[in-house]
Structure 1
Amino acid sequence: MSLLQNVSSPADLKGLSAPQVEALAQEIRDFLVESVSKTGGHLGPNLGVVELTLAMHRVFDSPHDTLVFDTGHQAYVHKLLTGRHDFSALKKQGGLSGYPSRAESEHDVVENSHASTSLSWAEGIAAARRLSGERDRHTVAVIGDGALTGGMAWEALNNIAVDKDLPLTIVVNDNERSYAPTIGGISHHLASLRATRRYEKVLDWGRETLTRTPVVGAAMYETLHGVKKGLKDIVAPQEGMFEDLGIKYLGPINGHDTPALEEALTLARDFGGPVIVHAITEKGRGYAPAASDIDGDQWHGIGKFNPETGLPFEVSGRIWTDEFNEEMVRLGAERPDLVAITAAMLIPVGLDGFAAAYPDRVFDVGIAEQHAVTMASGLAFAGMHPVVAVYATFLNRAFDQLLMDCALHKQGVTFVLDRAGITGSDGPSHNGMWDMTISSIVPGLQLAAPRDGEQVKQQLREAVDVDDAPTVVRFPKGDVGESITAQRQDGSLDVLLDVQGNPEVLIVGVGAMCSLALTAADKLVAQGHSTMVVDPRWVLPISDDLLRLASQAQHVVVIEDNLVTGGIGASLRSALQEDDQWQPVHTFGVPKRFLEHASRGQVLEEVGLTADVVSTTMLDRLGPTASGRSD
């Protein structure tokens, strides 16, 4: 039986010899490559933290001690060491989550996969344990160099620094990448630390002490210089900005040297206050295709692939992001005032083409969405037109800046929201189901929901022409389908399915839901119900043209991949009622709850966003037609 098969909890690691730990690390890497090749998932980050995770679980006692993983995409090794070995349905319905999950294990604490939050969580946990008198319980926060670029991490460090007896270990997993190579002042400082070798002196001291005393482990350190004086003397060296903050620093440590990591973590654990342990790791380590991924994007999150060659089994077609990518390059040639901002996701959001063509006009601010939006407002004030490209779920992080810095000041900034709507397999934190609801309360904001690739291009152009208000262009994850040609235009609307006279049913398709709307309409028409389908294109604010058509229909149906609460349907209903129009507005969208991970199709089916559900529901509500036909 392999070593890994014998590990059902972190306690099983304690008695392993150094050669056994090394062998286990190799088994884990082999397991990850083999398993993720069949399911897809976050491979590169996990290959890089094998020894680091082993060392943490050998030094600390989870769940008595608490481990908090920032972002969480590097928690596969943690899952294995806490007894979760069935990766056959990773990120699939009923299988393991791609991130820590409280429902899976008592060893998991923070499920949110948004970055830069771990230090705040950890400070709160450690402070509560101290207040409760649980001084034997330690808290560990694992944060990457990429997540350290987020402002929230520094807000936490600012507070941690003044709490000198907080039992908190901060492990900086420094692999020089998040999705892509980390940039900025934080990156430059960490790079300067990588060039030092102070950790060798620290560990030489520890190893020399081991030869002079029969006491080992944590107890050894308590025998030195009056219980903890020796610890304080050796942990005291600090570097640069960490010294300025007043937080003790150990490092940089070779993040693939398990004995060195264990010694450093033991020093930090027994110090009695907050300590930063700076570990240098290699993303993708042990698997050549992942380790040689220069941009850090391809193997950060990967689909199914051949483990022998590293080549993907599934070749994706043209995706929505490609349409945006190419149009930005064309617009850049036409508009010298056009600039772009990314929050550490240049390639995933499709700004790599623009960056290659116009490198001086792209700003990567790190994982700092709040800063991105306010900086964009400043750029707009000074005569540029910024395009801020982020995943839809991450717009939540910068709502105040969108509202108070951008909209209040009427700055012409365009927000491009990739992966809007249901994304599925990455779970509740990644579904882009909030953006239209939060955007709907922002005065002056205009939001476009393109139905196909051609509309992405056209509506992006329309968006960047607005210079006195924020604009939003949103589109979903995955392959973009065939273009849907409008039968005619009615003012600002595209009529996708027309009728003679006023329709019994007006179906409003929002963005990618237009295809579903047309299929559902065919089923209603087949049962004798006069049905018109329109694409409003610009769905916020509700246009006068849409209000006019809606007021002429007996029933209005709105289909959107956003929360029903506060969504486009709710906005249309409110606008109709303000005009004293009271015809029923039937809304189909996402319920107000967090959605478990599954494929996008499975989640859409679960929440009722299918043509069959929409048509069956509406046939039941409409009743029989004049000809006597019904559902």
Structure 2
Amino acid sequence: MNLLDTIDQPSDLKKLSVKQLPQLCQNIRDFFIERILKNGGHFSANLGVVELTVALHYVYEFTTDKLIWDVGHQAYIHKLLTGRKSEFDTFRKLGGLSGFPKIDESPFDHFGTGHSSTSISAVMGMAEAALLNNKKSKHIAVIGDGSLTGGMAFEALNNLGVSKANVLVIVNDNQMGIDPNLGAINTHLAEIDGIKPNLFENLGLQYDGPQDGHDVVGLVDYFENLKENSGPQILHIKTIKGKGYEPAEKAQTDWHSVSYVKIDPLKPETLEVKPRKFQEVFGHTLLELAEKDERVVGITPAMPSGSSMKIMMDAMPNRVFDVGIAEQHAVTFAAGLALEGKRPFCNIYSSFAQRAYDQIIHDVALQNIPVIFCLDRAGLVGADGPTHHGAFDLAFLNAIPNLTILSPMDEHELRNMMYWAVDYIDGPVVIRYPRGRGSKLDYKNEIQPLEIGSSRTLTSGGKLAILSIGQIGKEVQLTIANDQLEDAVTHIDSRFMKPIDLQKVGELFRSFDKIITIEESCLLGGFGQQIKALAQDSGYQGTITSLGLPDVFVEHGEISELRAKYGLDAEGIGKVISTLL
């Protein structure tokens, strides 16, 4: 009998005997592996928390108790047990289940996550509110997968150590984030033996562990005994990322997330040559620069594989610094390196750069320190959704003095910008580029010199001008080619958001009474609004139509689907052009 067939809600789970739980865990693993290998999604982290998730829902009542999953990519089993089994095939698809907890998706998702190290702060706030309201509910944060390298987690632990709130922090110790965990905290966790005083106890927190995180019966027994305790507590469990699927256990980084294309056994291997991803072009170009210039160093906040900085890390391990999930530290660390004559390339995903906004302003831009920020995954990222879309960087960075902001349309331009940035020492530079493949089969172009604030003209003619910034310009070029508009439209690739090419923009104001701006970024405070402000200042009398992302948190879905929804694909752009011509 497949016990999972009997479960739709946590109340169904509680009808099983404790002795049946190991079988249920195996049924869950079988179901999860089959579905995620078919449909794609976060893989190995979820396999590592099957027993923990079952035990938590078996013992606690999460209609009144609270449960927060840090980062949240390991919450698929939680969703499976809380009424979403029938929707499991829709994970990360447009209109389907999110790959992360969302409070508007289920009453069992008590706090939305997607970025790391937030769970303890949030659950502590809930627990303090419960004390004020004379409620005896339990409040649980599950944190691991590298999240304890984030400073916010330690700010919360520091506060929790002097609190009386009923908080249980479960440290899911699997030695991994997306890449292997590094740093003194990881070493400390590995050395804890349950006898000597440890960091958590020194902070005034009750500690128990390490416990076997794959012993579901033992976990149930532990949680039952713990229910009557009060105050803040730490449970340290040891788990294996990818547990139960041998390929994932052996290659945990590779199996952090999977796509059906990657693992479809029925899909034959193809010898088709494809353009490299922007991330790979970044990694190879960074290594090129480092080989030419001993000042070049790399910094990544726990994303060496995703950013492709691992290419340089493998070749020059002493010149690449993985600082953990610590974007604030990464930025200020880069400032220190730059002040001592190094040329630091600080690679941070666009959505994670939000976490270091003050450091970018106070520690870098205010002091005009020449750090080179490479913001990966700028624009729409697809299935990871609103917590990961790089929708806001142009808007929130453009307001900062001393920053130079660039956005390449293709991988050749990315290389040109990186080569230019190494020699630009008059202030900090931001190069923001998208996730995914470029358009050039041969990414190794002859490097072309850049002039600061310079745009480039891609087509010239007609009565309509289009100003684009970033890779979305490729959709404009596709529209022009598909609709044979080469002589009807002038298309300018801005390249620089700041400083903008004022000479070229002025020429457009004088020559065209209809202008379109296009960006894969939020419209509020973005590129289009900057052009409109310049138009107003210059007394421009024509019309400017701005295309970009509206004032919403864009949902998850394929990038192509999201572009189509918001009119940023070739078809949508073509419709706007046709109405203006």
TM norm structure 1: 0.86
What per-residue deviation string (whole Å, max 9, x for no partner) do you get for residues 223-252 of structure 1? Answer: xxxxxxxxxxxxxxx732112210110100
User: 1:311 & 1:88 partners in 2: Cα distance?
Assistant: 19
Aligned 1:58-69 pairs, distance under 5 A? 58-69=58-69
Q: Residue in 2 aligned with 1:606?
A: 565
Q: Which stretch has the larger CA shift, 144-153 or 273-282?
A: 144-153
| 2:2 corresponds to 1:40 | no
Contact kept, 8 Å, 1:558 with 1:569, in 2: the verdict is yes
**Secondary structure in structure 1 of the residue aligned to 2:387:** coil
**Alignment of structure 1 residues 473-484 onto 2, 5 Å:** 473-482=431-440
Taking the aligned partners of 1:118 and 1:557, their CA distance within structure 2 comes to 43
Matching of residue 493 in structure 1 with residue 451 in structure 2: no
Shift in Å, 1:313: 7.7
Q: Distance in 2 between matches of 1:535 and 1:19?
A: 64
User: Matched residue of 1:88: which SS?
Assistant: helix
Deviation, structure 1 residue 290 = 0.3
**Structure 1 residue 297: deviation in Å?**
2.2
- The aligned amino acid for 2:546 is T
Note the C-alpha offset of 1:493: 2.2
Contact 1:440 1:541 in 2 (8 A): no
How many residues are aligned here? Answer: 572
Give 1:171's aligned residue: 170
* TM superposition shift of 1:23: 0.6
Give the Cα–Cα distance (whole angstroms) in 1 for the partners of residues 406 and 292 of structure 2: 22
- CA deviations over 1:281-321 (Å, ceiling 9, x no partner): 0000000000001xx32111111168797999899752111
Quick one: structure 1 residues 48 and 309, their matched pair in 2 at CA, closer, same or farther if it must change by over 3 Å? farther
Instruction: Report whether the alignment pairs 1:133 with 2:92.
Output: no
* Comparing 14-23 and 558-567, the one that deviates more: 14-23
Deviation track 1:52-105 (CA, whole Å, cap 9, x = no partner) reads 111111221112111100000000110111121132221111222111122331
Q: Structure 1 residue 506 and structure 2 residue 507: aligned?
A: no
Local SS of the residue matching 1:604: helix
Residue 87 of structure 1 aligns with which residue? 88
Q: In the alignment, what sits opposite 1:142?
A: 142
For the residues of structure 2 that align with 1:306 and 1:478, how far apart are their CA atoms? 15
CA distance in 1, matches of 2:565, 2:212: 46
Largest Rg, 1 or 2: 1
Mapping 1:542-581, distance limit 5 Å: 542-554=500-512, 555-581=514-540
Paired amino acid for 1:70? D
Provide the secondary structure at the position in 1 that maps to 2:337.
helix
Within a 5 Å distance, the mapping from 1:99-498 to structure 2 comes to 99-135=100-136, 137-144=137-144, 146-163=146-163, 165-193=164-192, 196=193, 239-293=197-251, 296-304=252-260, 318-482=276-440, 492-498=454-460
1:329·1:353 contact (CA, 8 Å) conserved in 2? yes
C-alpha change, 1:510 and 1:343, in structure 2 (3 Å) is same
Q: Distance in 2 between matches of 1:104 and 1:403?
A: 36
1:586 aligns with 2:545: yes
Cα 1:536–1:171 change in 2 (3 A) is: same
Q: Is the 8 Å Cα contact of residues 254 and 281 (structure 1) preserved in structure 2?
A: yes
Distance 1:403-1:583 versus aligned 2 partners, 3 A rule:
farther
Q: Identity percentage over the alignment?
A: 37
Distance in structure 1 (CA, Å) of the matches to 2:449 and 2:206: 65
Aligned-pair CA distance for 1:576: 3.2
Deviation at 1:470, TM superposition (A): 1.4
Q: What is the RMSD of the two structures over their aligned residues, measured on CA atoms?
A: 2.5
Aligned equivalents of 1:532, 1:614: Cα separation in 2: 14
CA drift of 1:48 comes to: 0.3
Q: What CA distance in whole angstroms lies between the structure 1 residues aligned with 2:483 and 2:541?
A: 22
- Name the CA distance, whole Å, in 1 between partners of 2:329 and 2:232: 27
Q: Structure 2 vs 1, CA of residues 560 and 305 (structure 1 numbering), >3 Å: closer, same or farther?
A: closer
In the alignment, structure 2 segments of 5+ residues that lack a partner are none
Q: Provide closer, same or farther for how the CA distance between residues 604 and 457 of structure 1 changes in structure 2, counting only shifts above 3 A.
A: same
Alpha carbons 2:37, 2:264 under 8 Å: kept = no
Cα separation, partners in 2 of 1:177 and 1:309, compared to 1, 3 Å: farther
Contact 1:542–1:571 under 8 Å retained in 2: no
Deviations 1:509-568 (A, max 9, x none): 211111222234457775x98421111222222122332332233222111100011111
Stretch of structure 1 that moved more, 379-388 or 113-122: 379-388
The separation in 1 between residues aligned to 2:541 and 2:213, in whole angstroms, is 65
**Could you tell me how far 1:602 is from its partner in structure 2?**
0.9
Report if aligned partners of 2:35, 2:89 keep a CA contact under 8 Å in 1: yes
Secondary structure (helix, strand or coil) at the match of 1:575 reads helix
Report if aligned partners of 1:90, 1:96 keep a CA contact under 8 Å in 2. Answer: yes
Letter in 2 for 1:171: I
Residue 223 of structure 1 corresponds to: none
Between stretches 94-103 and 393-402, larger displacement belongs to: 94-103
Residues 23 and 30 of structure 1: is their aligned pair in 2 closer, same or farther, counting only changes over 3 Å?
Answer: same
2:573 partner letter = V
Query: Which deviates more from structure 2 when the two are superposed, residues 557-566 or residues 472-481?
Result: 472-481
User: 1:87 is paired with a residue of what secondary structure?
Assistant: helix
Q: 1:447 to 1:278 in 2, by over 3 A?
A: same
Which amino acid is 1:495 matched to?
A: T
Task: Label 1:523 to 1:33 Cα distance change in 2 as closer, same or farther (>3 A).
Answer: closer
- Mapped contact 1:424–1:599 kept (Cα < 8 A): yes
Q: Is the 8 A contact 1:43 1:301 kept in 2?
A: yes
Paired residue secondary structure (1:129)? helix
Q: Using the alignment, how far apart are the partners of 1:239 and 1:108 within structure 2?
A: 34
How far does residue 260 in structure 1 lie from its aligned partner after superposition?
A: 2.1
Shift of 1:5: 1.3
Instruction: Return closer, same or farther for 1:538/1:128 CA change in 2, 3 Å cut-off.
Output: same
Distance across 1 between alignment mates of 2:264 and 2:408: 40
Deviation at residue 267 of structure 1 after TM alignment: 3.8
User: Per-residue deviation at 1:18?
Assistant: 3.5
Unaligned 5+ residue runs, structure 1? Answer: 199-237, 623-631
Structure 2 vs 1, CA of residues 13 and 455 (structure 1 numbering), >3 Å: closer, same or farther?
same
Shift of 1:583: 3.1
| Rounded Cα–Cα distance in structure 2 between residues aligned with 1:277 and 1:43 | 24
Q: Secondary structure at the match of 2:305?
A: coil
CA–CA distance in structure 2, aligned partners of residues 62 and 21 of structure 1: 19
Displacement of 1:150 in angstroms is 0.5
Change in CA separation of 1:311 and 1:49 when aligned onto 2, cut-off 3 Å:
farther
Q: Which stretch has the larger CA shift, 427-436 or 263-272?
A: 263-272
Distance 1:308 1:532 in 2: 44
Q: Which residue of 2 aligns with 1:626?
A: none
Which moved further from structure 2: 68-77 or 464-473?
A: 464-473
